[in-house]
Structure 1
Amino acid sequence: MAFMFKIIEKENINTVIPLVQKLNNNKISYEVLEQRFSEMVTQNYECAVIYNGDKLIGVTGLWFCTRHYSGRSVEPDHVYIDDGYRGMGLGKQFFEWIYNYIKAKGYEAVELNTYVTNAPSHKFYFNEGFKILGYHFLKKI
């Protein structure tokens, strides 16, 4: 299989919504995600995707910023690879592509959050060399 990794064009951002809905167990409606993504693409956000031919099979958002403790950093967000493509080493290839992409843009660190209940992702990120630095807290207001 020939996979293609790329940054999706902003005008095509809604094509990632079905995968993001799967990541969130369909708890967020298409309409809400559509509105949020329309805002996100106006911020320091890019969206990396994986295609298998014409089929979109993977996604992650990339938030670009500078932090006092890590310097110029990128935060992958909503990382998801379709069920039928897991266990093929695709996640490792995707992250290698991301590392090369962000290095070329002058960024020096990657940090991310993952759901506490997503144990397979924890194993993956540990294997990628990530370290736990703290807790992520959220309060809806």
Structure 2
Amino acid sequence: MQVSFNKILKKDFELVLPYLEKLHKPVPEKEILKERLLEMFDQNYECFGIYKADKLVGVFGLWFMTRHYAGRSCEVDHIFIEEELQGTGIGRKLFEFIEAYITSKGCETLELNSYVENFRSHKFYMNLGFVIRGYHFLKKL
């Protein structure tokens, strides 16, 4: 299967919004999601589209930072691949791309969060060599 991963620029942010909406339950108001995404583009964040035969079929984001415990690090964010394409090898190709890309940018570590109830993703990530190192806590203010 031929897939490609292409950067999505801030001016094209609207391509990403429908996929972000699919990740949320309940879905935040579209205007709030838009404001947050636009602000993300002004930080150490890069957004990519996942394309199959020039058709957008998913998205993901990368956050770059230096952490005392991990060195130069990248955190993968909001991975979404259309459901009918999950299990077809796109995810594995995606992580091959991510690892090569972030290594070329000097990263030593790759991190991600996965929802506790998303058991299928846990198995997938562990098969790629990830280990569970802790819990992600969140407190809404």
**TM-score if structure 1 supplies the norm length?**
0.94
* CA-atom RMSD in angstroms: 1.2
Q: What are the ranges of 5 or more consecutive residues in structure 2 without an aligned counterpart?
A: none
Deviations 1:23-58 (A, max 9, x none): 224522322111101100000000122112342111
- Structure 2 counterpart of 1:68: 68
- Structure 2 counterpart of 1:19: 19
Counterpart CA distance in 2 for 1:26 and 1:53 is 32
Q: Which amino acid in the other structure matches residue 49 of structure 1?
A: G
- Structure 2 counterpart of 1:39: 39
Deviates more, 1:9-18 or 1:34-43: 9-18
> After the TM superposition, which parts of structure 1 deviate over 3 Å for at least 4 consecutive aligned residues?
none
User: Percent identity, aligned pairs only?
Assistant: 52
Write the mapping of 1:49-128 to structure 2, written as runs, cut at 5 A: 49-128=49-128
SS, match of residue 66 in structure 1 = strand
**TM-score if structure 2 supplies the norm length?**
0.94
SS, match of residue 14 in structure 1 = helix
| Residues matched between the structures, number | 141
Counterpart CA distance in 1 for 2:111 and 2:37 is 21
